[in-house]
């Protein structure tokens, strides 16, 4: 660790410092240090000609399933999948078993994460057991290390409870992350409500189930002055609401996931349970609006909603299958496709996948300045591969992208200068 590591000739893309140019990065003792003019003979040198060197990617929305569902994923396997996908940090949702609604569970997660292949930032529950009835104890969880609050997976139905949550959260300087879903509209639905759901004979979930909830969160953020982050935006209406709230100065940020800008509800055809998630895949016009919102800044971040499930939960009738797909190992190539299509720039990709998540969560990262911790991702934008079951590092394989030919890959991931993934 104390040897000098030198990344030579890479294209450094570092929007936090307004940099996009060929540059060498010197790493010593886990940090980026000033480059010298002569390479010392004991240094380890990697020639990265043609590769991009970017601040370590941060996924602000993953499910690591530990404690309680270790057969789907553990903190160890999930962070290894993260490193393989180019991530140096993940924020993990509290819908484990038991729910992370108290300092003991928060501390347990952090203990299990020490020495893992990525930093793990726990998110605490908004309500006790995410049952939506009583607020959890935010101060204790914050002291133990949570970075935000969410009842992800179990939307908060009671608006008064959400109002109190926002007030209490802002007094602890904690961000509220909303899984925006109006349960009375989505109940019993298992895919997007559209001509496809009619054709398949499946009960649909209308876009309004999301946008009604997004509107409520924006109104409550405005009322309380709290910061709110809208998770996994899937509809065009949500995009319009968020854009207009930002215009009024509401403290709102938002993310979407690669599947929402890559797929539509057509992917459900054939009762494909690996295309089932909450919120569901939507129509082409929603996909287009989400893509434009990534470009114009209405959407701040890309997060995977990595949701591992075993074959037992997925190889069943569509309406009984579990919601969610894994995403850590496909997020970067699917986002690089937006760069190749000319929709976003390389530096916007780094903002969406590293800088913005760091800023939204208030954690370190997203920068390659001298003195920063050396959390670094090296990307080969040309590398093509077929995403296969054999290569999946995650403990679960529930992905709709298996068999896809993808382009662009993390070929080296460094966590405080330590190599957590290497296929150079």
Binding interface with ligand DOR (CB under 6 A): 63, 95, 152-153, 179, 277-278, 305, 307, 323-324
150 sits in the region (left: phi over 0; alpha: psi -120 to 50; else beta) called beta
Q: Which is nearer to ligand DOR, 96 or 420 (CB)?
A: 96
Minimum CB distance to Zn ion smaller for 14 or for 300: 300
> How near is the Cβ of 393 to ligand DOR at its closest, in Å?
18
Binding segment (CB under 5 A) for Zn ion, from list 178-186, 312-320, 323-331, 410-418: 178-186
Would you tell me how many other CB atoms lie within 10 Å of the CB of residue 225?
Answer: 11
Least distance (Å) between residue 280 CB and Zn ion = 12
Nearer to Zn ion, 11 or 154 (CB): 154
Taking CB within 5 to 8 Å according to partner kind, which of ligand DOR, Zn ion, none is near residue 406? none
Torsion angle, CA of 223/227/232/235, rounded to 10 degrees? 40
Q: Convert 132-145 to b/e letters by CB count within 10 Å (16 or more is b).
A: beebbbbeebbebb
Measured between alpha carbons, how far is 269 from 272 in angstroms, rounded to an integer?
Answer: 6
Residue 5 near residue 42, CB atoms below 8 Å: no
Considering only residues 145 through 164, tell me which ones interact with Zn ion, judged by CB under 5 A. Answer: 152
Packing angle, helices 103-112 and 75-84, rounded to 10: 60
**Smallest gap, in angstroms, from Cβ of residue 60 to ligand DOR?**
14
Q: Which does 243 bind (CB under 5 to 8 A by kind): ligand DOR, Zn ion, none?
A: none
| Residue 381 backbone dihedrals phi, psi, to 5 degrees | -75, -15
- For residues 313 and 185, give the distance between their C-alpha atoms in angstroms, rounded to a whole number: 24
Q: Is 179 an interacting residue with respect to Zn ion (CB under 5 A)?
A: yes
Q: How far is the CB of 349 from ligand DOR (least distance, A)?
A: 24
Q: Tokens representing 114?
A: 């020490």
| Residue 101 Cβ vs ligand DOR, minimum distance, rounded to whole Å | 15
In the Cβ-directed half-sphere of 249, how many Cα atoms lie within 13 Å? 2
Whichever of 131 and 405 has its CB closer to ligand DOR, that residue is: 131
| In the complex, least distance from residue 232 CB atom to ligand DOR, rounded to whole angstroms | 7
Report d(CA 149, CA 338) in Å as an integer.
30
Tokens of 47: 């020639």
> Shortest approach of ligand DOR to residue 88 CB, angstroms?
23
CB closer to ligand DOR out of 178 and 253: 178
Q: Which does 379 bind (CB under 5 to 8 A by kind): ligand DOR, Zn ion, none?
A: none
Cα–Cα distance measured from residue 158 to residue 161, given in angstroms and rounded to the nearest whole number: 5
221 touches, from Zn ion, ligand DOR, none (C-beta below 5 to 8 Å by class):
none
217 binds Zn ion (CB under 5 A): no
Are 367 and 351 in contact, with CB atoms under 8 Å apart?
no
Cα–Cα–Cα angle for 333, 334, 335, rounded to 5 degrees: 90
In the bound state, the residue with its beta carbon closest to ligand DOR is 324
CA nearest neighbour of 126 among 59, 60, 178: 178
The catalytic residue positions are 305
| CB of 156 vs ligand DOR, minimal distance in Å | 13
Please, which residue, 277 or 415, has the CB nearer to ligand DOR?
A: 277
**Between the CA of residue 42 and those of 5, 38, 393, what are the distances in Å?**
9, 12, 33
Asked whether 227 and 170 are in contact (CB, 8 A), the reply is yes
Quick one: 119 or 309, whose CB is closer to ligand DOR? 309
Select the binding partner of residue 323 from Zn ion, ligand DOR, none (C-beta < 5 to 8 A, by kind). Answer: ligand DOR
**Binding letters toward Zn ion, positions 94-133, x by CB under 5 A:** ----------------------------------------
> Following DSSP, what letter does each residue of 328-389 receive, concatenated?
TTTHHHHHHHHHHTTSS-HHHHHIIIIIHHHHHHT-S-S---TTSB--EEEEEEEEEEE--G
Residue that is written with structure tokens 């569902």 in the block? 69
**CB-wise, 177 or 374, nearer to ligand DOR?**
177
Interacting residue ranges for Zn ion, rule: CB under 5 A: 152, 179
């Amino acid at each position: 660790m104390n040897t000098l590591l030198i990344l030579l000739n890479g294209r450094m893309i570092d929007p936090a410092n307004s940099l996009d140019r060929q540059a060498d990065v010197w790493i010593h003792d886990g940090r980026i240090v000033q480059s010298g003019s002569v390479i010392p003979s004991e240094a380890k040198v990697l020639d990265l000609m043609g590769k991009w060197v970017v601040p370590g990617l941060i996924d602000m929305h993953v499910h690591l399933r530990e404690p309680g569902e270790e057969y789907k994923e553990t903190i160890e396997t999930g962070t290894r999948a993260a490193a393989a996908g180019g991530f140096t940090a993940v924020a993990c949702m509290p819908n484990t078993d038991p729910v992370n609604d108290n300092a003991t569970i928060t501390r347990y997660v952090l203990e299990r994460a020490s020495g893992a292949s990525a930093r793990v930032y726990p998110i605490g529950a908004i309500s006790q057991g995410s049952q939506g009835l009583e607020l959890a104890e935010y101060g204790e969880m914050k002291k133990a290390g949570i970075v935000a609050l969410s009842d992800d997976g179990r939307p908060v139905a009671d608006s008064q409870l959400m109002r109190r949550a926002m007030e209490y959260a802002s007094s602890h300087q904690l961000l509220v992350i909303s899984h925006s879903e109006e349960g009375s509209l989505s109940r019993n639905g298992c895919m997007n409500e559209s001509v496809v759901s009619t054709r398949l004979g499946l009960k649909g979930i209308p876009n309004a189930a999301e946008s009604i909830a997004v509107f409520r969160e924006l109104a409550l953020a405005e009322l309380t002055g709290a910061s709110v982050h809208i998770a996994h935006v899937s509809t065009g209406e949500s995009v319009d609401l968020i854009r207009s709230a930002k215009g009024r100065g509401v403290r709102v940020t938002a993310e979407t996931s690669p599947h929402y800008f890559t797929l539509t509800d057509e992917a459900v055809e054939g009762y494909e349970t690996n295309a089932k998630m909450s919120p569901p895949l939507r129509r082409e016009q929603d996909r287009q609006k989400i893509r434009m919102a990534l470009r114009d800044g209405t959407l701040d971040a890309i997060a995977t909603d990595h949701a591992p499930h075993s074959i037992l939960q997925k190889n069943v009738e569509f309406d009984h299958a579990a919601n969610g797909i894994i995403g850590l190992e496909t997020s970067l190539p699917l986002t690089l496709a937006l760069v190749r299509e000319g929709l976003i720039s390389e530096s916007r990709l780094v903002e969406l996948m590293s800088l913005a998540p760091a800023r939204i969560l208030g954690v370190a990262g997203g920068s390659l300045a001298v003195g920063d911790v050396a959390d670094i991702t090296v990307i080969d934008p040309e590398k093509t591969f077929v995403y296969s079951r054999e290569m999946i590092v995650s403990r679960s394989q529930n992905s709709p992208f298996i068999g896809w030919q993808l382009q662009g890959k993390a070929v080296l991931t460094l966590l405080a200068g330590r190599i957590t993934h290497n296929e150079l």
